[in-house]
Amino acid sequence: MNDLFLEIIKYLSKYDINMKENYQIYRSIQNKTPLQKKAKTIKEKEFTYHIFAPKHFETKKTIIYLHGGGFTTGSTKFYSFLLYHLANELKRSIITFDYPLAPEHPFPEGLNYCYEAIKELIKKPDKYGIDVSDVVIMGDSAGANLATVICLKAKKAKDFKIKKEVLLYPVVQTNFKNNKKYKSIEENGYDYFLNKDLIEDYLSMYITNNKDYKNKYVAPLYAKNLFGMPESLIITADLDPLRDEGYAYAKKLKRYFNKVTYYNMKGVIHGFFNNFLYFKENHHVIKIIKRFVGDKIE
């Protein structure tokens, strides 16, 4: 089935998808997904938190999840089935929220919103049933970028502390034009839907000031000081243009004496974790996450 899926993806990748012109259509399609699950919703100031609690299991252990979508698409609706499943598998509460998307809200608006939302969340642990000593932040793709950048900001500002971060196929650098350093950009940058042109579309909508392409809060791989980051789990997709930069980020975190666990999932494309066709692979990834966060595997 996965081989057939890859052939279909390769065929579709031949067509030019101009995300700058079609991002609103893409958002609309995502939000009409039939696989939606309801969560408990709590409003606090300008923030609306969606809490997916595991069935028949009370816990204060929490994962804060930031969705992917190239900073321009994605939503709690589109991710709701995944987060519902994740809460039940991990036996942890998953807390998420929608953040402002580009191009209407370019960098750093979405990042600042996420940072303040998490600060407000951790400020009131009793209200949200959070054990502040055991908070994990998690994200995929652009959400993984935001997750680790929030940790980078928090260690400097000392507003709150994240115990661990889980980064799925993170985007951590911004050079996708003539980048010979990361071979996966050329190896996987044409045939697996997320191609080089699409990545550049996403980045151009998110980043309006060219100087910010080197900003550590956009591209944490360029950060000069990564001491004191949370313990990290980084999982990359073997057929992903972002694969090698994810591995490079794992190595750089280690060079700054952070604890890092790294996995590269074979035979999967970018975005596989929110794709039901990769059921077997995702089951394995959830086992890896359970082990990383310190919970028993049933």
Q: Where are the domains of the chain?
A: 2-293
Give the fold, CATH level 3, of 2-293: Rossmann fold (3.40.50)
Which structure tokens are listed for 66? Answer: 């930031």
Give the orientation angle of helix 279-293 with respect to helix 76-90, to 10 degrees.
60
Query: What is residue 268's predicted lDDT score, i.e. its pLDDT?
Result: 95
Burial state string for 240-249 with b = 16 or more CB within 10 A and e = fewer than 16: bbbbbbbbeb
Rounded CA gap, 220 and 59, in Å?
Answer: 32
pLDDT in tens, the chain (298 residues): 577 778 888 877 777 778 999 999 999 999 998 889 999 999 998 999 999 999 989 999 999 999 999 999 999 999 999 999 999 999 999 999 999 999 999 999 999 999 999 999 999 999 999 999 999 999 999 999 999 999 999 999 999 999 999 999 999 999 998 778 999 999 999 998 899 999 999 999 999 999 999 999 999 999 999 999 999 999 999 999 999 999 999 999 999 999 999 999 999 999 999 998 889 999 999 999 999 998 765 5
Query: What is residue 235's predicted lDDT score, i.e. its pLDDT?
Result: 98
**Degrees, nearest 5: CA angle 188-237-294:** 165
Work out the end-to-end distance of the chain between its first and last CA atoms, rounded to an integer number of angstroms.
28
Peptide bond before residue 220 is cis, with ω within 30 degrees of 0:
no
Q: Which residues pair with 63 in a beta bridge?
A: 94, 136
Query: What is residue 64's predicted lDDT score, i.e. its pLDDT?
Result: 98
Backbone phi and psi for residue 264, each to the nearest 5 degrees, phi listed first = -120, 120
DSSP β-ladder status, 231-237 and 40-44: unpaired
Which structure tokens are listed for 181? Answer: 């350093």
Q: Which residues pair with 236 in a beta bridge?
A: 264
Reading phi first (left if > 0) and then psi (alpha if -120 to 50, else beta), residue 199 is in alpha
Query: What is residue 296's predicted lDDT score, i.e. its pLDDT?
Result: 63
Q: Which residues pair with 135 in a beta bridge?
A: 62
Strand segments (E) across the chain: 40-44, 47-52, 62-66, 93-96, 135-140, 164-168, 231-237, 260-265
Q: Which residues pair with 234 in a beta bridge?
A: 167, 262
3-class DSSP state of 51? strand
- Is 205 within 8 Å of 234 (Cβ atoms)? no
Query: What is residue 53's predicted lDDT score, i.e. its pLDDT?
Result: 96
Rounded CA gap, 83 and 137, in Å?
Answer: 13
